[in-house]
Amino acid sequence: MDACQMQRLEQLNRVALTEEEREKALAFFASRFADMEKCNAVDTENTERMVHIFALENVLRADEKKKIFSREDLLKGAPEQTDGYWQVPRLLE
């Protein structure tokens, strides 16, 4: 990364760096690019691609049909009911 690219990053991120901060940032990016070059130098020709480092498993429970509440239990909490259904105040006229 050069000074022009750094200036462009400053504009995109709407930050104003001091000269000292700019030098630190450039040194940081230079170090990261050097690390990336080391990684790219590793021979991965016979290496299988990996998406996750751990095998993923579905941790959700299986869907089971259960009747948790009876209609009568639910209607006990209704302020009013009509024909086995909750009766609520009309919102629109």
- For the record, the structure tokens of 20 come out as 């000292």
Phi-psi region of 58 (alpha: psi -120 to 50; beta: other; left: phi over 0): beta
Residue ranges making up the domain that contains 19: 3-41
Q: Per the domain annotation, does 85 fall within a domain?
A: no
pLDDT at residue 35 in the model:
95
- Residues in contact with 30: Cβ distance below 8 Å, sequence separation at least 6, in sequence order: 1
pTM value surpassing 0.75? no
Q: Is 60 inside any structural domain?
A: no
Query: What's the number of CA atoms in the CB half-sphere (13 Å) around residue 1?
Result: 19
Each residue's pLDDT tens digit, 2-59:
889 999 999 999 999 999 999 999 999 999 999 999 999 999 899 888 888 888 787 8
Q: Is residue 84 part of a domain?
A: no
The verdict on residue 86 lying in a domain is: no
Could you give the residue ranges of the DSSP H alpha helices within the chain? 3-13, 19-41, 71-76
* 60-92 pLDDT, tens digit each: 888 888 888 888 888 888 888 888 888 888 888
Asked if residue 37 is part of any domain, the answer here is yes
Q: How many domains does the chain have?
A: 1
Whether 80 is in a domain gets the answer no
Q: What is the pLDDT of residue 1?
A: 80
In a domain, 15, yes or no: yes
34 within some domain: yes
